[in-house]
Chain A
Amino acid sequence: MRRPFGAAVLTAPLLLFLLVTFVAPIGAFLWRGVTDDEVRPVLPRTVVALASWNGTGTPGEEAFAALVEDLRAARSGDRGAIPRAAARLNADRPGFRGLLPMTARRVEAPFEGSARAAVLAISEEWAAPETWGAIARAGGPMSSFHVLAALDLRQDATGAIGQAPEDTRIFRAVLLRSLWISLLVTAVCLALGWPLAWLIATARGLPATLLLAAVMLPFWISLVVRTAAWMVLLQREGIVNAALQASGIVDAPLPLLMNRFAVVLGMVHILLPFMVLPLVAAFRGLDPRLPRAAASLGAAPWRVFLRVTLPLSLPGVGAGCILVFIQALGFYVTPALLGGPNDQMLAWFVGFYATRSVNWGLAAALSIMLLVAVGLCVALYGRLAGFRRPGAA
């Protein structure tokens, strides 16, 4: 007596809520990564005039006239429009933040002769094809500019894709760094989590309960608190340095904070339970008779482990690794507090470009990269662990 209609009605309020508070905001945000809508409203005629320009040499009188007309119209309209467009163009070609408002101010008064001569007299910048290329690229509505920028690539005025200038090439390094830190954290979690999970799965009585409690307790304690604990422990005058000095291992306090070591340590501490719990489930699911059978057939213990135990627990191991890796990729708080400037991951740059530099397009493009990486891992997790019991981990 299933009533799909009634069931849909019960689910509808939540789905509607998530649509408004989750799906739509994220969609609208990511949309900014593949579109451009800051320049076209300000320079509509210029964008149209540049559509037929091939990207080489300075465009003709028609484009200059369109620019003058657009800037005059923009000056009389919304005051924030020109700075917004200038900020977007500046992200492509530094100098635009000053150039566009200055040009707009200077062309407002009527002038004699051609628009081309008048604009070129304001700044030589307008003779460069790349200045116009920046406007053409930002013309929208769809745009690959931000996604290319997030991969350290850029398009020139003719449309050819090449490397970004050396001094702005940072994002591939950030992406690789995020993947590398996440991979390292996952590997350390696996190495530390394996013996603990094996003990919890095979021990009986109070010791097993205590070990499981040692995993569950930090699992519940706030991430900031756990990060704070490491900050207190690893400070220059902190407990770890004091212990090292008292025992005579080191003479001067070691710099244990604001570096990669602290970030990996903190992340391993926070993510280890996510590795241990799926491993325990996998080990408990093993049929204990199989290793015994292998041993009774004459296999040495290492051979039993390699040929029987390991292959049988592999799906659980994979699930744990992916669970840790996905979460590690998106870490923000721990690297921000424990790491130095060179230990920040993708999430930090998403936050930075969204708030401090107000470059929503780039923040969105970086988020798209983050989500693609996470999505691939989730798909892999689905293949390994199945989605029938979400939350079982």
Chain B
Amino acid sequence: MARGILWALGVLVALFLVAPIVAILPLSFSAGSFLFYPLPGLSLRWYEDFFASPFWLPAFWNSMGIGTAAAALATLLGTPAAFGLWRMTGAFRAVAMGIVLAPMVVPVIVVAVALLLAFGPLGLVATHTGLVIAHAMLGVPFVVVTVLASLEAFDPVQLRAAAACGAGPVRAFFRVCLPQIAPGVAAGAVFAFATSLDEVVVALFIAGPAQRTLPRQMFSGLNDQISLTTTAAAAMLVVMSVLLLLAVAWLQARGRRRVQG
């Protein structure tokens, strides 16, 4: 009996989490132009509209480009740093960890406003470079945490073995350690890309008209009239998120297999 109530409650909450997203996706395939059911018919007109729109299409490419560049920068900086943090102990490690994880905790509005103030005199406001730097900074904690997690499963004795065989520390890292933690590094990069793809507040404050990303355009699209093209954009973001989630799940499973095998 009690178990039955628990199931009913749990399933209701699970539905509450999923239903709003599921409910709006079919609207983007509507042949009509209203945001409710029943649909007058099915069509791809809102997707055609999306890909023909000077409002949405550049935003799509901006999101892809800025996300990729930010993920690359975050991975490039985060992976060696995670390796360094993994080998460190004591107070310096605690301080370094604190700094690395801080962007996860500080409210993003504070980051956005601080960057607006700091990037102004540097000429980085309303530039792609500025937004890539900001998004890389927001994504880097996820890279470090993910790579550190995959290093937990790496046996450091192998590095000593590599040194005994005459490999320097750099060579040992690239030839011995990196291949084993590669799925973790890739998962970290996906996390960083997803962070950039989701990010609105910093984009709202420091992006110019040429840097507007998909979520940024959705924000302004929602502020005035919600059109069905907005739901098409939402649907595309959902599909991308699902793909990224699957990619991370696949990479993490691969990482586990590799360690066990």
B residues 79-121 near A (Cβ < 8 Å) are 80-81, 83-89, 92, 96-97, 99-103, 105-119
Q: Tell me whether B219 is interfacial, beta carbon within 8 Å.
A: yes
Q: Tell me whether B238 is interfacial, beta carbon within 8 Å.
A: yes
On whether A14 and B115 interact (CB within 8 A), knowing A196-B13, A221-B21, A273-B17, the answer reads no
Q: Tell me whether A363 is interfacial, beta carbon within 8 Å.
A: yes
Point out the residues of chain A lying under 8 angstroms from B100, CB to CB.
14-15, 18
User: Are A14 and B78 in touch, CB under 8 angstroms?
Assistant: yes
Q: Tell me whether A289 is interfacial, beta carbon within 8 Å.
A: no
| Contact digits for B134-148, partner A, Cβ 8 Å, 1 yes 0 no | 101100111011100
On whether A232 and B169 interact (CB within 8 A), knowing A11-B80, A224-B200, A326-B105, the answer reads no
Q: Tell me whether A109 is interfacial, beta carbon within 8 Å.
A: no
On whether A269 and B105 interact (CB within 8 A), knowing A22-B137, A363-B113, A370-B110, the answer reads no
| Contact digits for A224-253, partner B, Cβ 8 Å, 1 yes 0 no | 111111111101011100100000000000
User: Are A390 and B80 in touch, CB under 8 angstroms?
Assistant: no
A191 to chain B, nearest CB (A): 9
Number of B residues with CB within 8 Å of any CB on chain A: 91
Q: Tell me whether A301 is interfacial, beta carbon within 8 Å.
A: yes
User: Are B219 and A18 in touch, CB under 8 angstroms?
Assistant: no
In the complex, what distance in Å separates the CA atom of A66 from the CA atom of B201?
Answer: 45
Q: Tell me whether A13 is interfacial, beta carbon within 8 Å.
A: yes
A256 to chain B, nearest CB (A): 13
Q: Tell me whether B194 is interfacial, beta carbon within 8 Å.
A: yes
Option from B7, B84, B200 in Cβ contact (under 8 Å) with A223? B200
User: Are A21 and B106 in touch, CB under 8 angstroms?
Assistant: no
User: Are A367 and B110 in touch, CB under 8 angstroms?
Assistant: yes
Number of A residues with CB within 8 Å of any CB on chain B: 85
On whether A232 and B24 interact (CB within 8 A), knowing A9-B84, A13-B81, the answer reads yes
User: Are B17 and A218 in touch, CB under 8 angstroms?
Assistant: yes
On whether A3 and B105 interact (CB within 8 A), knowing A17-B137, A228-B226, the answer reads no
Q: Tell me whether B253 is interfacial, beta carbon within 8 Å.
A: no
Seen from chain B, the residues whose Cβ lies within 8 Å of a Cβ on chain A are: 2, 6-7, 9-11, 13-18, 20-21, 23-24, 27, 34-37, 77-78, 80-81, 83-89, 92, 96-97, 99-103, 105-119, 133-134, 136-137, 140-142, 144-146, 149, 159-160, 163, 169, 194, 197-198, 200-201, 205, 215, 218-219, 222-223, 226, 230-231, 234, 237-238, 241-242, 244-245
List 8 contacting pairs A-B, 8 Å CB cutoff, sorted by A: A7-B87, A214-B14, A217-B242, A221-B242, A239-B23, A354-B117, A371-B107, A391-B142
Seen from chain A, the residues whose Cβ lies within 8 Å of a Cβ on chain B are: 1-4, 6-15, 17-19, 21-26, 28-30, 32, 192-193, 195-196, 198-200, 210-211, 214-218, 220-233, 235, 237-239, 242, 269, 272-273, 301, 326, 329-330, 332-333, 337, 347, 350-351, 354-355, 360, 363, 367, 370-371, 374, 378, 387, 390-391
